[in-house]
Chains A and B, each alone.
Chain A
Amino acid sequence: MTTMGTSVDYRLIDSTLRDGSHAISHQYDADEVIAIVRGLSSAGVQVIEIAHGDGLGGSSFNYGFSKVDEKELIAKACQEAGDSTIACLLIPGIGLADDLKDVQELGVGMARIATHCTEADISEQHIKTAKKLDMEAIGFLMMAHMNSPEGLVEQALLMQSYGADAIYIADSAGAMTTEDVRRRVNALVGALDIPLGVHAHNNLAMAVSNSIAAYEEGAANLDGTSAGLGAGAGNCPTEILAAVSTKYGIETGVDPLKLMDVAEEVVRPIMPRQQVIDRAGLILGYAGVYGSFLLHAQRAAERYNVSQAEILLELGRRQVVGGQEDMIIDVALELARKHAQEEK
């Protein structure tokens, strides 16, 4: 793979401005976006993803309202992108194919179309729209721990048949062991005609090692966020992934030291909390619960005076999937009622 004249072993996609948005409750402003895009671009990051944390059109009661309209922020990102490609993520059922047209006009070159790992067939309309708009289209299978390697191959082949240029599997709950990642990547790389990518979360402290393992099994794209900013205990930290890759002799085309500067000087100052693996974060990975539920569950726990850990465990039992944030209120109300009855 060649980027800007230098050969790289995998392509790095930074999602600080999309997945990272969960950790700051979608409160990015234009100045923060400009500073982050400038920093990432000058460090050589090939692709920078930006949108509401739940993708285009995600601003809502259910997922949290954006402080600034995402399309204003995307326009700013495109202006500052330099040699980097600006990407957006879209979850069919939340965002619309029409949103892709809007952002393509702003200069967005890549669309990642995300579905739950068993529902790839709802992405056809959106992958085809992205291709028609001459964007690179990536099929993005979320909560990949909930499907087998064979099941993921079946779903990925659907997305490939719609015209996707690459496929991603996302460990959205940060629930996979290295072995889980290897088996899935291995099966997918063998079955697909197009490149594979892996998006890792750090709830089990496996994000960087799982990403490296994915590379070893043939993944050609890897995701990170600056300082690990993101849902749950956070994402694979871009600067650590770059540093570890360098030590392995894996060529990334990015400058780890510059990425460390971005993480330290631009991103950490705006983080409301450091990305640590506390009890709630660990439970997400342990119970296999969608990472973005973390802060919503914390708010519901405070509002209804119930335990955040109990909410997350119950969501895991119910096999809730990404996007069902409304069920957090449902579970909190039920727990509150149960506790009230027990006290009587």
Chain B
Amino acid sequence: MPQRCAIIGSGNIGTDLMYKMLRSDELELVALVGIDPDSDGLARARKEGLEAPHSGPEWVLENSDDIDMIFDATSAYVHVRYYKQYADAGITAIDLTPAARGPKVIPPVNLYDHLEAPNINMVTCGGQATTPMVYAIRRAIDHLPYAEMVSTVSSKSAGPGTRQNIDEFTKTTSTALREIGGAEKSKAIIILNPAEPPILMRNTVFAGLPEGSDHGAVLDSVHEMVDEVAKYVPGYRLKNPPVVEEGPFNTPGGEVPHRAVVLLEVEGAGDYLPTYAGNLDIMTAAAMRVGEAVAQAKAEVPA
């Protein structure tokens, strides 16, 4: 039995996710829920034969008997207001906002750790793009004193939510580099670039390598992880081969003799958003990956 799903939020992310979910065998999309009856997303949902109510999260709660799982693409504020009610109604929530109420999941690192959780948080686009790399470097060495990521996204792909609370992005991402990536200290940076035509999403990961690290093993591990991510985000790739540069570098985690530099690019699948919006694509692709894994886990456990 596929899981019956609703997407809440008919903006860019919600609409892009809709097209991805329409192709899924495990997830049966029932509705795209919005608040603006005239939104482009809801019009497209109606065209696909889906329910397209504009009464927001309340619609989901009223129809909770028919819904197993929701994907929240609204805002942290809305998610915080409703997340308990989703859980009380027995609905699993995959949270694409930065609300961070449930455990954070980065598919190639900890997908199977939280499949039973009533609420799963998808971190940030930059977190989805860079935490796998930090984890890949960490697993190849003794310990990782400090990791840093720089995300550059096109101005056009950065919505008002990100712009009004950019600190939330950097803080949440930085936390993921430590808690999931395994770095002892971390920093996250985001830059908006207004160039025309819009640039593809770029991410750079820097990692401090302690004395005695096996550089070959670090680079091999990075390559393997890029392949892992590319399985569910086809436009995820290395822009240049990863390199190890000589320091020393006086990091917040102590002085290290070398650093690894991983230069990544994410091209979107172009389901709804233009291909430059790899930052939005990686979020919807990761949320799909989590949703399908939850559905498979539920299928294995007879209710």
Contact = CB atoms under 8 A, between A and B. Distances in A.
B152 interface: yes
A318 B166 contact: no
14 contacts: A65-B250, A65-B252, A93-B170, A93-B189, A116-B194, A119-B194, A121-B160, A121-B163, A124-B164, A146-B194, A321-B195, A323-B152, A326-B150, A329-B243
Nearest to B243: A333
A305 interface: no
Contact of B163 (A60, A62, A122, A319): A122
List the 3 closest A-B pairs by CB distance, nearest first: A61-B206, A326-B204, A319-B195
Interface string B200-243: 00101010100000000000000000000000000000011101
Interface in A285-320: 303, 318-320
A60 B187 contact: yes
Contact of A323 (B163, B170, B189): B189
A104 interface: no
Contacts of B249: 61, 65
Contact of B250 (A67, A121, A122, A318): A67
A94 interface: yes
A122 B193 CA distance: 12
A323 B263 contact: no
A315 to B, nearest CB: 12
A326 B165 CA distance: 23
A327 B202 contact: yes
A96 B170 contact: yes
B193 A319 contact: yes
A122 B148 contact: no
Contact of A62 (B150, B167, B192): B150
A146 B193 CA distance: 12
B85 interface: no
B296 interface: no
Nearest to B207: A61
Interface in A115-151: 116, 118-119, 121-122, 124-125, 146
A96 B193 CA distance: 19
Contacts, number: 105
Given A96-B167, A96-B171, A327-B202, A321 B193 contact: yes
Interface in A318-344: 318-321, 323-327, 329-330, 333-334, 337
Interface of B: 148, 150, 152, 155, 160, 163-167, 170-171, 187, 189-195, 199, 202, 204, 206, 208, 239-241, 243, 245, 249-252, 259, 261, 263
Nearest to B152: A324
A290 to B, nearest CB: 11
A121 B164 CA distance: 7
Contacts of B163: 119, 121-122, 124
A62 B130 CA distance: 15
Nearest to A92: B166
Interface in A162-214: none
B203 to A, nearest CB: 9
Contacts of A320: 193
Nearest to B191: A323
B167 A116 contact: no
Contacts of A97: 167
Given A62-B148, A333-B263, A122 B166 contact: yes
Nearest to B165: A125
Q: Is chain B's binding surface mostly helix, strand, loop or mixed?
A: strand
Contacts of B192: 93, 116, 119, 122, 321
Contact of B263 (A57, A93, A326): A326
B6 to A, nearest CB: 31
Interface string A38-59: 0000000000000000000101
A96 to B, nearest CB: 5
B245 A303 contact: yes
Nearest to B193: A321
Interface string A96-117: 1110000000000000000010
B191 A93 contact: yes
A316 to B, nearest CB: 11
B207 to A, nearest CB: 9
Contacts of A329: 204, 240, 243, 245, 261, 263
Contacts of B239: 330
Contacts of A303: 245
Given A62-B150, A323-B191, A324-B152, A93 B204 contact: no
A98 B170 CA distance: 12
A51 to B, nearest CB: 15
A237 to B, nearest CB: 29
A329 B261 CA distance: 9
Contacts of A330: 202, 204, 239-240, 263
A94 B165 contact: no
B194 A118 contact: yes
Contacts of A327: 152, 202
Nearest to B206: A61
A333 B202 contact: no
B263 A324 contact: no
